[in-house]
Amino acid sequence: MSNPVIQVKRRTLHFHVEAGTSRGILTQKNSYFLQISNPSHTEFVGLGEAGPLFGLSPEFKEDAYDDFQKAVNHLPKELPRNNSEVASWISAIPFDQPSFRFAAEMAIIDYLNQRDGIYFPSDFTDRQAPVPINGLIWMGSKEYMQKQIEAKLAEGLTCLKLKIGAIDFESEIDLIRSIRDSHSEKALTIRLDANGAFSVPEAAYKLEKLSKYGIHSIEQPIKAGQWNEMAHLCKQSEIPIALDEELIGVQDSVEVLETIRPAYIILKPSFLGGFGATMQWINLANEKKIGWWITSALESNVGLQAIAQFTGQFTDLIPQGLGTGLLYANNLASGLYTRQGNIYFDSKFPRENPFQNLSL
């Protein structure tokens, strides 16, 4: 029998429209795919995806292909025999390369399962059970954000997440007020994501002004790394605070949660180093009675499919951040689809393998 082959390829994904964040405007991004295959058993392969992002992923470079290939080359030649050996196998990739770890873990889980893209079997994969999601509103002009909001509401979404910090604060307040004037808290949940846009001196004032509009939560009001200041905000803010960027690169998860004591944590598997690492955060959050939800990080449908399936294993979920599958003009086909505020997975829909149509 032939030995398994591990390959890496790159694809540049192009956004349908400009995606505004506090770190700038995104029009395209690179994703790097990992395939594990066996020449003597070609029916099933294992697929993974790494998509490091500027300003967030420690391994980000304009072109991270060589670094990803080097990381893959350091993986043990003998593959894990079962899922219990996966964590040890991916530990050969350094902790400060979380999206590479995520891709390797994805690919080996897929390869071991031998179910053609079924990473985490559950009612989500086998019976098209829905997972609730929020609608993401990108930064931009007030008019642009308003158009996005109207489109999401027309789709039947009942939870919106607005990225704020790109336009002046009073215009953002006006926008949020206009939404709340026509949609009650019971009818529509509003989440905010500041991506660290508030300075420490102004954060308490801005949170107090925003609190008048029935905000469910706000992610990362100030920049990561200011644990004492964030802890103070968590104590005094009427809006529950969620940690996002604060979790990236943190090895002592107990210390950060006990110091800051947030209301929620936002879990991005590709920033945390994979699904095993994400599960550790979930267990700790449950133990400390901290809420959580899972969010994709601009992966293609390959990565999103695995993240959605991982999320679909859990029950009694609040809306998750998984509605990014329509971002790209050249995305890869998958069994994922969204409808009226939920994401679904149809296992009968063939998964598109990027190694069948990619070149470097």
The CATH number linked to 54 is 3.30.390.10
Give pLDDT, residue 46: 96
Domain assignment present for residue 359? The answer is: no
In whole angstroms, give the CA distance from residue 15 to residue 47.
Answer: 22
112 and 216 share one domain? no
Domain assignment present for residue 334? The answer is: yes
Strand partners, 343: 131, 338
Domain assignment present for residue 360? The answer is: no
Burial classification of residue 287, based on how many CB atoms lie within 10 Å of its CB (0-12 exposed, 13-18 middle, 19 or more buried): exposed
- pLDDT of the chain, 360 residues: tens digit per residue: 468 899 999 999 999 876 666 566 778 999 999 999 988 777 789 999 999 998 889 999 999 999 999 999 999 999 999 999 999 999 999 999 999 999 999 999 999 999 989 999 999 999 999 999 999 998 888 888 889 899 999 999 999 999 998 789 999 999 999 999 999 999 999 999 999 999 999 999 999 999 999 999 999 999 999 999 999 999 999 999 999 999 999 999 999 999 999 999 999 999 999 999 999 999 999 999 999 999 999 999 999 999 999 999 999 999 999 976 678 999 999 999 999 999 999 999 988 999 986 443
Q: 3-state class of 32 per DSSP?
A: strand
Domain assignment present for residue 42? The answer is: yes
Domain boundary among the residues 72, 99, 116 is at 116
345 and 203 share one domain? yes
Domain assignment present for residue 214? The answer is: yes
Give pLDDT, residue 21: 60
Per-position DSSP letters for 37-75, written without gaps between them: EETTEEEEEEEEEE---TTT-TT--S--HHHHHHHHHTS
Domain boundary among the residues 116, 150, 168 is at 116
Give pLDDT, residue 1: 45
25 and 89 share one domain? yes
Point out the catalytic residue in the list 163, 186, 209, 223.
163
Domain assignment present for residue 244? The answer is: yes
- Does the annotation mark 268 as catalytic? yes
Q: 3-state class of 24 per DSSP?
A: strand
Domain assignment present for residue 128? The answer is: yes
150 and 108 share one domain? no
208 and 285 share one domain? yes
Domain boundary among the residues 86, 116, 146 is at 116
Give pLDDT, residue 360: 39
- Does the annotation mark 163 as catalytic? yes
Point out the catalytic residue in the list 29, 161, 206, 268.
268
Determine the structural domain holding residue 11 and report its residue range: 5-116
81 and 212 share one domain? no
Domain assignment present for residue 139? The answer is: yes
